[in-house]
Protein backbone atom coordinates (compact mmCIF):
# COMPACT_ATOMS: atom_id res chain seq x y z
CA UNK A 1 0.00 0.00 0.00
CA UNK A 2 1.44 3.34 -0.93
CA UNK A 3 1.19 6.35 1.30
CA UNK A 4 -1.86 8.59 1.19
CA UNK A 5 -1.22 12.07 -0.15
CA UNK A 6 -2.60 15.12 1.66
CA UNK A 7 -5.64 16.53 -0.16
CA UNK A 8 -4.08 19.97 -0.90
CA UNK A 9 -1.18 18.20 -2.62
CA UNK A 10 -3.60 16.31 -4.88
CA UNK A 11 -5.30 19.58 -5.65
CA UNK A 12 -1.92 21.06 -6.57
CA UNK A 13 -1.19 18.02 -8.73
CA UNK A 14 -4.38 18.70 -10.72
CA UNK A 15 -3.12 22.16 -11.66
CA UNK A 16 0.45 21.03 -12.28
CA UNK A 17 -0.65 18.13 -14.48
CA UNK A 18 -2.61 20.47 -16.73
CA UNK A 19 0.06 23.19 -16.78
CA UNK A 20 3.05 20.92 -17.41
CA UNK A 21 1.46 18.41 -19.76
CA UNK A 22 -0.46 20.88 -21.95
CA UNK A 23 2.39 21.82 -24.34
CA UNK A 24 3.26 18.12 -24.63
CA UNK A 25 -0.26 17.27 -25.80
CA UNK A 26 -0.01 20.03 -28.42
CA UNK A 27 3.31 18.51 -29.47
CA UNK A 28 1.77 15.04 -29.80
CA UNK A 29 -1.07 16.40 -31.96
CA UNK A 30 1.39 18.29 -34.20
CA UNK A 31 3.53 15.17 -34.53
CA UNK A 32 0.61 12.87 -35.37
CA UNK A 33 -0.75 15.38 -37.85
CA UNK A 34 2.63 15.61 -39.58
CA UNK A 35 2.96 11.80 -39.71
CA UNK A 36 -0.52 11.51 -41.25
CA UNK A 37 0.57 13.97 -43.92
CA UNK A 38 3.74 11.95 -44.59
CA UNK A 39 6.03 14.51 -42.97
CA UNK A 40 8.43 13.79 -40.13
CA UNK A 41 7.06 16.68 -38.13
CA UNK A 42 8.47 18.54 -35.15
CA UNK A 43 9.64 16.77 -32.00
CA UNK A 44 6.94 16.06 -29.46
CA UNK A 45 8.84 18.28 -27.01
CA UNK A 46 9.08 21.17 -29.50
CA UNK A 47 6.39 23.31 -27.76
CA UNK A 48 8.50 23.22 -24.55
CA UNK A 49 11.58 24.41 -26.45
CA UNK A 50 9.50 27.15 -28.07
CA UNK A 51 8.25 28.31 -24.68
CA UNK A 52 11.77 28.24 -23.20
CA UNK A 53 13.05 30.29 -26.13
CA UNK A 54 10.25 32.83 -25.86
CA UNK A 55 10.79 33.24 -22.12
CA UNK A 56 14.41 34.28 -22.80
CA UNK A 57 13.44 36.89 -25.42
CA UNK A 58 12.80 40.54 -24.66
CA UNK A 59 9.23 41.80 -24.47
CA UNK A 60 8.00 44.70 -26.59
CA UNK A 61 4.71 46.54 -26.43
CA UNK A 62 3.20 48.63 -29.21
CA UNK A 63 3.24 52.36 -28.75
CA UNK A 64 0.18 53.64 -26.89
CA UNK A 65 -0.73 50.28 -25.39
CA UNK A 66 -1.61 50.56 -21.71
CA UNK A 67 -0.81 48.24 -18.81
CA UNK A 68 -3.78 46.08 -19.79
CA UNK A 69 -1.79 44.82 -22.77
CA UNK A 70 0.90 43.37 -20.48
CA UNK A 71 -1.39 42.29 -17.64
CA UNK A 72 -3.81 40.33 -19.83
CA UNK A 73 -1.54 37.35 -20.61
CA UNK A 74 -0.76 36.90 -16.91
CA UNK A 75 -4.40 37.21 -15.88
CA UNK A 76 -5.57 34.87 -18.65
CA UNK A 77 -2.98 32.27 -17.67
CA UNK A 78 -4.14 32.53 -14.05
CA UNK A 79 -7.71 31.87 -15.21
CA UNK A 80 -6.59 28.77 -17.09
CA UNK A 81 -4.84 27.45 -13.99
CA UNK A 82 -7.93 28.08 -11.83
CA UNK A 83 -10.26 25.89 -13.88
CA UNK A 84 -8.42 22.58 -13.13
CA UNK A 85 -9.36 23.09 -9.48
CA UNK A 86 -13.05 22.81 -10.42
CA UNK A 87 -13.11 19.78 -12.69
CA UNK A 88 -12.29 16.11 -12.09
CA UNK A 89 -8.74 15.99 -13.44
CA UNK A 90 -7.37 13.21 -11.24
CA UNK A 91 -9.94 12.15 -8.64
CA UNK A 92 -13.45 10.68 -8.62
CA UNK A 93 -14.30 12.50 -5.40
CA UNK A 94 -14.69 16.25 -5.18
CA UNK A 95 -11.66 18.03 -3.75
CA UNK A 96 -12.35 20.84 -1.25
CA UNK A 97 -11.89 23.63 -3.79
CA UNK A 98 -13.80 21.65 -6.42
CA UNK A 99 -17.12 22.98 -5.13
CA UNK A 100 -16.11 26.63 -5.57
CA UNK A 101 -17.85 26.61 -8.93
CA UNK A 102 -20.04 24.38 -11.09
CA UNK A 103 -19.81 23.78 -14.84
CA UNK A 104 -21.06 27.30 -15.52
CA UNK A 105 -18.48 28.70 -13.11
CA UNK A 106 -15.68 26.97 -15.01
CA UNK A 107 -17.18 28.26 -18.25
CA UNK A 108 -17.26 31.81 -16.91
CA UNK A 109 -13.59 31.67 -15.93
CA UNK A 110 -12.65 30.38 -19.38
CA UNK A 111 -14.68 33.18 -21.02
CA UNK A 112 -13.05 35.73 -18.73
CA UNK A 113 -9.64 34.60 -19.96
CA UNK A 114 -10.75 34.83 -23.57
CA UNK A 115 -12.25 38.28 -22.89
CA UNK A 116 -8.97 39.52 -21.38
CA UNK A 117 -6.98 38.32 -24.38
CA UNK A 118 -9.48 40.08 -26.66
CA UNK A 119 -9.11 43.33 -24.70
CA UNK A 120 -5.33 43.07 -24.96
CA UNK A 121 -5.68 42.54 -28.70
CA UNK A 122 -7.80 45.69 -28.95
CA UNK A 123 -5.09 47.65 -27.10
CA UNK A 124 -2.60 46.98 -29.87
CA UNK A 125 -4.49 48.79 -32.66
CA UNK A 126 -3.08 46.12 -34.96
CA UNK A 127 -5.67 45.18 -37.59
CA UNK A 128 -5.05 41.43 -37.48
CA UNK A 129 -5.11 41.10 -33.71
CA UNK A 130 -8.34 43.09 -33.59
CA UNK A 131 -9.83 41.09 -36.43
CA UNK A 132 -9.04 37.86 -34.61
CA UNK A 133 -10.43 39.14 -31.31
CA UNK A 134 -13.62 40.42 -32.91
CA UNK A 135 -14.20 37.17 -34.78
CA UNK A 136 -13.47 35.09 -31.69
CA UNK A 137 -16.09 37.03 -29.73
CA UNK A 138 -18.65 36.87 -32.56
CA UNK A 139 -18.42 33.11 -32.93
CA UNK A 140 -18.21 32.61 -29.17
CA UNK A 141 -21.65 34.22 -29.00
CA UNK A 142 -22.92 31.56 -31.40
CA UNK A 143 -21.33 28.60 -29.60
CA UNK A 144 -22.48 29.84 -26.20
CA UNK A 145 -26.08 28.51 -26.60
CA UNK A 146 -24.61 25.10 -27.43
CA UNK A 147 -22.65 25.09 -24.18
CA UNK A 148 -25.76 26.17 -22.29
CA UNK A 149 -27.82 23.32 -23.73
CA UNK A 150 -25.04 20.87 -22.88
CA UNK A 151 -25.17 22.19 -19.31
CA UNK A 152 -28.98 21.78 -19.30
CA UNK A 153 -28.52 18.17 -20.38
CA UNK A 154 -26.05 17.57 -17.56
CA UNK A 155 -28.44 19.27 -15.15
CA UNK A 156 -31.38 17.10 -16.24
CA UNK A 157 -29.34 13.88 -16.14
CA UNK A 158 -27.79 14.39 -12.72
CA UNK A 159 -30.06 16.87 -10.97
CA UNK A 160 -26.99 19.03 -10.26
CA UNK A 161 -24.56 20.95 -12.40
CA UNK A 162 -21.39 19.62 -10.84
CA UNK A 163 -18.97 17.93 -13.23
CA UNK A 164 -18.11 15.33 -10.55
CA UNK A 165 -21.75 14.24 -10.38
CA UNK A 166 -21.99 13.61 -14.13
CA UNK A 167 -18.73 11.64 -14.15
CA UNK A 168 -20.09 9.46 -11.33
CA UNK A 169 -23.41 9.00 -13.17
CA UNK A 170 -21.66 7.94 -16.38
CA UNK A 171 -19.59 5.39 -14.44
CA UNK A 172 -22.67 3.97 -12.72
CA UNK A 173 -24.17 1.91 -15.58
CA UNK A 174 -24.03 1.13 -19.29
CA UNK A 175 -27.53 2.59 -19.69
CA UNK A 176 -26.13 5.99 -18.78
CA UNK A 177 -23.53 5.88 -21.54
CA UNK A 178 -25.85 4.82 -24.34
CA UNK A 179 -28.73 7.16 -23.49
CA UNK A 180 -29.24 9.54 -26.42
CA UNK A 181 -29.04 12.70 -24.32
CA UNK A 182 -25.56 11.79 -23.15
CA UNK A 183 -24.31 10.80 -26.61
CA UNK A 184 -25.72 13.98 -28.17
CA UNK A 185 -24.39 16.29 -25.46
CA UNK A 186 -20.91 14.74 -25.69
CA UNK A 187 -20.93 15.11 -29.49
CA UNK A 188 -22.05 18.74 -29.25
CA UNK A 189 -19.37 19.48 -26.67
CA UNK A 190 -16.75 17.90 -28.91
CA UNK A 191 -17.77 20.21 -31.76
CA UNK A 192 -17.54 23.22 -29.44
CA UNK A 193 -14.07 22.06 -28.38
CA UNK A 194 -12.99 21.89 -32.03
CA UNK A 195 -14.09 25.51 -32.32
CA UNK A 196 -12.58 26.65 -29.02
CA UNK A 197 -9.18 25.08 -29.70
CA UNK A 198 -9.04 26.51 -33.21
CA UNK A 199 -9.00 23.25 -35.14
CA UNK A 200 -10.24 22.27 -38.58
CA UNK A 201 -13.03 22.69 -39.75
CA UNK A 202 -13.08 26.11 -38.05
CA UNK A 203 -9.49 27.27 -38.31
CA UNK A 204 -6.12 25.96 -39.42
CA UNK A 205 -4.04 25.57 -36.32
CA UNK A 206 -0.58 26.02 -37.78
CA UNK A 207 -1.26 28.16 -40.82
CA UNK A 208 -0.05 31.68 -41.45
CA UNK A 209 -3.08 32.82 -43.42
CA UNK A 210 -4.13 35.94 -41.53
CA UNK A 211 -7.53 36.24 -43.16
CA UNK A 212 -8.64 32.83 -41.96
CA UNK A 213 -7.39 33.29 -38.43
CA UNK A 214 -9.58 33.56 -35.38
CA UNK A 215 -7.98 32.48 -32.12
CA UNK A 216 -4.46 32.38 -33.50
CA UNK A 217 -4.46 35.99 -34.64
CA UNK A 218 -5.10 37.50 -31.22
CA UNK A 219 -1.56 37.39 -29.76
CA UNK A 220 0.04 38.81 -32.92
CA UNK A 221 1.49 41.84 -31.15
CA UNK A 222 2.70 40.13 -27.99
CA UNK A 223 6.31 39.06 -27.74
CA UNK A 224 8.78 37.42 -25.40
CA UNK A 225 7.50 36.01 -22.09
CA UNK A 226 4.03 37.52 -22.64
CA UNK A 227 3.65 35.70 -25.93
CA UNK A 228 4.95 32.55 -24.25
CA UNK A 229 2.25 32.85 -21.57
CA UNK A 230 -0.45 33.25 -24.21
CA UNK A 231 0.80 30.21 -26.13
CA UNK A 232 1.09 28.18 -22.95
CA UNK A 233 -2.34 29.40 -21.89
CA UNK A 234 -4.00 28.30 -25.10
CA UNK A 235 -2.31 24.87 -24.80
CA UNK A 236 -3.58 24.67 -21.18
CA UNK A 237 -7.09 25.65 -22.32
CA UNK A 238 -6.96 22.87 -24.91
CA UNK A 239 -6.01 20.27 -22.30
CA UNK A 240 -8.66 21.60 -19.88
CA UNK A 241 -11.36 21.22 -22.51
CA UNK A 242 -10.09 17.74 -23.41
CA UNK A 243 -10.16 16.83 -19.72
CA UNK A 244 -13.75 18.00 -19.39
CA UNK A 245 -14.78 15.94 -22.42
CA UNK A 246 -12.83 12.86 -21.33
CA UNK A 247 -13.22 12.81 -17.56
CA UNK A 248 -16.77 14.14 -17.39
CA UNK A 249 -18.48 12.88 -20.55
CA UNK A 250 -16.76 10.21 -22.60
CA UNK A 251 -14.41 8.10 -20.48
CA UNK A 252 -14.36 8.95 -16.77
CA UNK A 253 -12.41 5.80 -15.94
CA UNK A 254 -8.92 5.54 -14.47
CA UNK A 255 -9.47 8.38 -12.00
CA UNK A 256 -8.14 7.95 -8.48
CA UNK A 257 -10.85 6.86 -6.05
CA UNK A 258 -8.59 7.34 -3.02
CA UNK A 259 -5.76 9.61 -1.95
CA UNK A 260 -3.12 6.87 -2.39
CA UNK A 261 -0.02 8.12 -4.18
CA UNK A 262 -0.09 5.14 -6.57
CA UNK A 263 -3.70 5.77 -7.57
CA UNK A 264 -3.05 9.46 -8.20
CA UNK A 265 0.03 8.65 -10.28
CA UNK A 266 -2.00 6.15 -12.29
CA UNK A 267 -4.70 8.79 -12.79
CA UNK A 268 -2.11 11.22 -14.21
CA UNK A 269 -0.85 8.59 -16.65
CA UNK A 270 -4.42 7.59 -17.59
CA UNK A 271 -5.45 11.21 -18.22
CA UNK A 272 -2.45 11.86 -20.45
CA UNK A 273 -3.00 8.63 -22.38
CA UNK A 274 -6.68 9.47 -22.93
CA UNK A 275 -5.80 13.03 -23.95
CA UNK A 276 -3.31 11.66 -26.50
CA UNK A 277 -6.00 9.36 -27.95
CA UNK A 278 -8.36 12.33 -28.25
CA UNK A 279 -5.51 14.30 -29.80
CA UNK A 280 -5.08 11.60 -32.45
CA UNK A 281 -8.80 11.84 -33.23
CA UNK A 282 -8.51 15.62 -33.56
CA UNK A 283 -5.43 15.29 -35.77
CA UNK A 284 -7.32 12.82 -37.98
CA UNK A 285 -10.19 15.29 -38.32
CA UNK A 286 -7.64 18.00 -39.10
CA UNK A 287 -6.38 15.90 -41.99
CA UNK A 288 -9.72 14.67 -43.29
CA UNK A 289 -11.71 17.87 -43.65
CA UNK A 290 -11.20 21.22 -45.31
CA UNK A 291 -11.41 24.46 -43.40
CA UNK A 292 -14.85 26.01 -43.59
CA UNK A 293 -15.24 29.42 -45.08
CA UNK A 294 -15.70 32.03 -42.39
CA UNK A 295 -19.39 32.52 -43.11
CA UNK A 296 -19.96 28.76 -43.02
CA UNK A 297 -18.87 28.56 -39.39
CA UNK A 298 -22.44 29.44 -38.39
CA UNK A 299 -23.47 26.21 -40.11
CA UNK A 300 -20.98 24.27 -38.02
CA UNK A 301 -22.30 25.97 -34.89
CA UNK A 302 -25.90 25.29 -35.91
CA UNK A 303 -25.09 21.58 -36.29
CA UNK A 304 -23.65 21.52 -32.77
CA UNK A 305 -26.71 23.41 -31.53
CA UNK A 306 -28.97 20.85 -33.19
CA UNK A 307 -27.25 18.00 -31.34
CA UNK A 308 -27.46 19.76 -27.98
CA UNK A 309 -31.12 20.73 -28.44
CA UNK A 310 -32.12 17.21 -29.48
CA UNK A 311 -30.38 15.96 -26.34
CA UNK A 312 -32.59 18.14 -24.14
CA UNK A 313 -35.71 17.17 -26.15
CA UNK A 314 -35.15 13.45 -25.68
CA UNK A 315 -34.68 14.02 -21.96
CA UNK A 316 -38.01 15.83 -21.72
CA UNK A 317 -39.72 12.98 -23.53
CA UNK A 318 -38.48 10.61 -20.86
CA UNK A 319 -36.59 8.43 -23.29
CA UNK A 320 -33.29 10.24 -23.11
Candidate list 6, 127, 159, 262; residue touching another protein; CB under 8 A: 159
Q: Does 156 bind another protein (CB under 8 A)?
A: yes
CA distances from 274 to 98, 176, 255, 280 (A): 22, 20, 11, 10
Least distance in Å: CB of 152 to another protein? 11
**Distance, C-alpha 157 to centroid of its chain:** 23
Residue 99 and residue 87 in contact, taking contact as beta carbons nearer than 8 Å: no
- Judged by CB under 8 A, which stretch of 40-48, 54-62, 256-264, 293-301 contacts another protein? 293-301
Q: Does 320 bind another protein (CB under 8 A)?
A: yes
Q: Does 119 bind another protein (CB under 8 A)?
A: no
Q: Virtual CA dihedral for 51, 53, 55, 58, nearest 10 degrees?
A: -140
- Judged by CB under 8 A, which stretch of 51-59, 93-101, 127-135, 166-174 contacts another protein? 166-174
Candidate list 178, 208, 211, 290; residue touching another protein; CB under 8 A: 178
Between CA 216 and CA 170 the distance in angstroms is: 34
Q: Does 313 bind another protein (CB under 8 A)?
A: yes
Q: Does 91 bind another protein (CB under 8 A)?
A: no
Between CA 315 and CA 311 the distance in angstroms is: 6
* Of 2 and 173, CB closest to another protein: 173
Helical packing angle, 224-244 and 180-196, nearest 10°: 170
Q: Does 148 bind another protein (CB under 8 A)?
A: no
CA distances from 238 to 154, 156, 181 (A): 21, 27, 24
Q: Does 290 bind another protein (CB under 8 A)?
A: no
Between CA 146 and CA 17 the distance in angstroms is: 28
Q: Does 162 bind another protein (CB under 8 A)?
A: no
Between CA 184 and CA 310 the distance in angstroms is: 7
Residue 136 and residue 129 in contact, taking contact as beta carbons nearer than 8 Å: no
Q: Virtual CA dihedral for 29, 58, 134, 125, nearest 10 degrees?
A: -160
Residue 203 and residue 214 in contact, taking contact as beta carbons nearer than 8 Å: yes
Q: Does 201 bind another protein (CB under 8 A)?
A: no
Residue 272 and residue 90 in contact, taking contact as beta carbons nearer than 8 Å: no
Q: Does 309 bind another protein (CB under 8 A)?
A: yes
Least distance in Å: CB of 146 to another protein? 12
Q: Does 127 bind another protein (CB under 8 A)?
A: no
Between CA 67 and CA 124 the distance in angstroms is: 11
Rg (CA), the chain: 19
Q: Does 205 bind another protein (CB under 8 A)?
A: no
- Judged by CB under 8 A, which stretch of 16-24, 250-258, 281-289, 309-317 contacts another protein? 309-317
* Of 225 and 320, CB closest to another protein: 320
Least distance in Å: CB of 140 to another protein? 16
* Of 7 and 183, CB closest to another protein: 183
Q: Does 288 bind another protein (CB under 8 A)?
A: no
- Judged by CB under 8 A, which stretch of 132-140, 172-180, 237-245, 273-281 contacts another protein? 172-180
Q: Does 289 bind another protein (CB under 8 A)?
A: no
* Of 141 and 303, CB closest to another protein: 303
Residues that bind another protein (CB under 8 A): 155-160, 169, 173-176, 178-181, 183-184, 298-299, 301-303, 305-307, 309-310, 313-320
Amino acid sequence: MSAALPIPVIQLFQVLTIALAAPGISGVIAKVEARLQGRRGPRVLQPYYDLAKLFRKEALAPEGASWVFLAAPLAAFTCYLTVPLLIPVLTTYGLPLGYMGDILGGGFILSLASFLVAVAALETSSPYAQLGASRAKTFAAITEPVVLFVVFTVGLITGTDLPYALAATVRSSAGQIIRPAHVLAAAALFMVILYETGRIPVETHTGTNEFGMIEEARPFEHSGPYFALLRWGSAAKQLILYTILINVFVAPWGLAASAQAGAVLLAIVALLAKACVLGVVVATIDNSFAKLRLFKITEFASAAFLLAVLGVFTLYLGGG
